[in-house]
Amino acid sequence: MKRRRGFSLVECVVAIGLIAATFTTVAVATGGIRRALARLRADVEIELAIERLAIQLRADAHEALAADLPAPVEPAAPAGSLRLTLSGQRRIDYSILAERIERVVRRQGAVAHRETYRLPGSPAACWTLSSEGSAPIVALKIAPAPPGGADSIASRGVEIQAAVGLLGPLPRGEMP
C-alpha cells in the first residue's frame, strides 16, 4: 500500500477558507475598534477644549472691568458674542461660531491674539449676563446634543459661569 505525502485539493481549499474567515473576522473587529477609538478621541478633544475654554473665560472675566453682550451688526454675524473690557485699552471678544467658539484679544483696537475652542457638532450655545449680586456673572450655556449618543459632554451639555471684575484693577506693585 502506498502512503500519501501531501494534502488533497479539498483539504487545501478548506484550510484556505478557514484562514480567510478568520482574517475577515479580525478585519471587521479591527475596523470597529478604530471607529470607536476615533469617536472616543473626538469626545476627549472636545471635553479638553471646553475645559480650556472654561479656565480661560474665568480668568478673563475675573480680570475684566466690564462685560456686555453686543447685538449683531449684520444678519450674518455670529450667533452670540461676549465683549470683556480690560485695563490698558485691552478687549477680549468671545464669539459663538458653527461648531466652535473664537476668542480674540485686542490691544488698542488691533488683534493681538486669536484662539478657537471646538464644540460638539452643531451645538446650541448662548451667552447670558446677570448682575443680580455684587459682581456681574457671565455664563456660557451649551445645550446637550440629542439623545442616543455616548455619555460625553456633548450629550450632557455644560454651563460655564464666571464673575466679572472679581480681581478688579490692582494697585501698582501688588500681586494677586
pLDDT bracket for residue 173 (50, 70, 90): very low
CB 150 within 8 A of CB 142: no
Q: Which of 57, 67, 45, 51 is nearest to 121 (CA)?
A: 45
Q: Return the pLDDT at 174.
A: 46
HSE (CB half, 13 Å, CA atoms) of 167?
16
Percent of the chain residues topping a pLDDT of 70: 82
pTM: 0.73
**For the chain, which residues make up each domain, given as ranges?**
27-163
Chain mean position to CA 127 = 16
Q: Return the pLDDT at 43.
A: 87
CB 145 within 8 A of CB 40: no
∠ CA 166-167-172, nearest 5°, is: 155
